[in-house]
Amino acid sequence: MAEQQQPTIASWLRQHESLARIELEVALCHVLTCSRAHLLSHPEQSLERQALDQLDHWVDQLHHHVPLAYLTGEQEFWGLALSVDERVLVPRPDTEILVERALECLQEVSAPAGTGDLMALDLGTGSGAIALAMAHERRDVRIHACDVSTDCLAVAEANSRALGLPITLHLSDWFEGIDQHFHVIVANPPYIDSEDPHLSRLQAEPRSALIARDRGLADLRSIIEQAPHHLAHGGWLALEHGYDQGHSAREMLARRGFEQIGTRRDLGGNERVSWGQFTQYEADLSYG
Ligand SMILES: C[S@@+](CC[C@H](N)C(=O)[O-])C[C@H]1O[C@@H](n2cnc3c(N)ncnc32)[C@H](O)[C@@H]1O
């Protein structure tokens, strides 16, 4: 009987070409502890049994829609290497648009003399992605972040420590446990309808990070409703939402009294992030 040939990097990539090439390459780099350049320059390298077993297990998991980030234990966001696992949503590239907008909002506000530092809040921080990206860009801003899940806060805290980016974490159901006021509030809340067919591909991630009542709008509505009580005068609220929720988000912001309302599209051309500024006096202006 002919001896079975040991798979090589090239043949293994060919064998699994129904999966995204970039994911296969990242998996190979991780398991073989090598660079992408090495993969490209050594396609004939044989894969040892142990590496092959791990890679085949990962391929099986990818076919079951387990995100690669859960397998490698890391995800890059805003150029930062974040540790992630099943306790948190894997941060998405589209969410970097929310970070961009939040940084622009911070440029537009300034703390009145004698009131202390600029303050920003990330609601539903998960892995800490948004808060840590902001902390990385603006060391002068006091960044707070909350989540209703202690598991998420543990991941965010570990990432904050590992990256040396201090943020203040709160266990809170949206604003319930928050008594400060902020110049910028951002949130990427759950916004998927429980009947949405896309959910079948997101089974590995926490349902509590994904699904919201009322066609996915319940958490967006509750944040828009409560945010003015926690915004400094002239403060901004910026929200990520579903591809078809831009109109509803703008309408809810306008009805709550926000001004300068805008929306930005993602790379796929879908409305993804909406924002507004609140200039009425609702917050009692105690900073810190
Ligand atoms: C879509 S995930 C976003 C995670 C992270 N901010 C990101 O962009 O990758 C939503 C997050 O909101 C949190 N969350 C859900 N309901 C919440 C609530 N009532 N109060 C605070 N956080 C909540 C979830 O635990 C989850 O971490």
CB-ligand 1 contact for 188 (6 Å cutoff) = yes
Which CATH number does the domain housing residue 251 bear? 3.40.50.150
pLDDT tens-digit profile of 104-139?
A: 999 999 766 656 789 999 999 999 999 999 999 999
Supply the pTM of this predicted model.
0.93
DSSP codes of every residue in 208-263:
GGTB-TTTTTHHHHHHHHHGGGGEEEEEEEEEE--TT-HHHHHHHHHHTT-EEEEE
Evaluate whether residue 134 is within a structural domain: yes
Does residue 133 form part of some domain?
yes
Max Cα-Cα span within the chain: 84
Question: Is 264 among the domain residues?
Answer: yes
Q: Which atom of ligand 1 is nearest to the CA of 91?
A: 9
User: Ligand 1 pocket: which of 87, 96, 152 to mutate (most atoms <8 Å of CB)?
Assistant: 152
Is 70 part of a structural domain of the chain? no
Same domain, 40 and 89: no
| Cα 124 to ligand 1 centre (Å) | 3
Chain centroid to Cα 143, Å, comes to: 16
> What is the number of domains present in the chain?
2
Average predicted confidence (pLDDT) for the chain: 94
pLDDT tens, residue by residue, 12-66: 999 999 999 999 999 999 999 999 999 999 999 999 999 999 999 999 999 999 9
Q: Is residue 77 part of a domain?
A: no
Same domain assignment for residues 26 and 104: no
For ligand 1, the distance from its centroid to the CA atom of residue 43, given in whole angstroms, is: 41
CA of 213 to the centre of ligand 1 (A): 14
247 shares its domain with 114 = yes
Distance, CA 239 to ligand 1 centroid (Å)?
Answer: 12
The C-alpha atoms of residue 49 and residue 163 are separated, in whole angstroms, by 35
Which ligand 1 atom is nearest residue 240's CA?
8
Give a yes or no: residue 3 inside a domain. Answer: no
In this structure, are 106 and 214 located in the same domain? yes
Q: Is there a single domain that holds both residue 150 and residue 270?
A: yes
With a 6 Å cutoff on the Cβ, whether 173 touches ligand 1 is yes
Question: Does 130 sit in the ligand 1 pocket, CB within 6 Å?
Answer: yes
Query: Do residue 158 and residue 246 come from a single domain?
Result: yes
Instruction: Compute the distance between CA of residue 24 and CA of residue 10 in angstroms, rounded to an integer.
Output: 11
Ligand 1 pocket test: which of 95, 208, 221, 273 has the largest number of ligand atoms within 8 Å of its C-beta? 208
Q: Is the CB of 126 under 6 A from ligand 1?
A: yes
Residue 169 has pLDDT above 90, yes or no: yes
Q: Are residues 142 and 198 in the same domain?
A: yes
SS3 160: helix
239-280 per-position pLDDT tens digit: 999 999 999 999 999 999 999 999 999 999 999 999 999 998
186: CA distance to ligand 1 center in Å? 11
- With 50 as the cut, is the pLDDT of residue 152 above it? yes
Considering the domain architecture, whether residues 227 and 92 belong to the same structural domain is answered as: yes
By residue range, what is the domain housing residue 34?
Answer: 9-64
Place of tokens 């502890």: 33
Is there an atom of ligand 1 within 6 Å of 149 CB?
Answer: yes
- On whether both 249 and 183 belong to a single domain, the answer is yes
Shared domain for 54 and 130, answered yes or no, is no
Which residue, judged by its Cα, is nearest atom 12 of ligand 1?
124
CA-based angle 87:24:192, to the nearest 5? 40
- Bridging pattern class, strands 231-240 and 80-83: unpaired
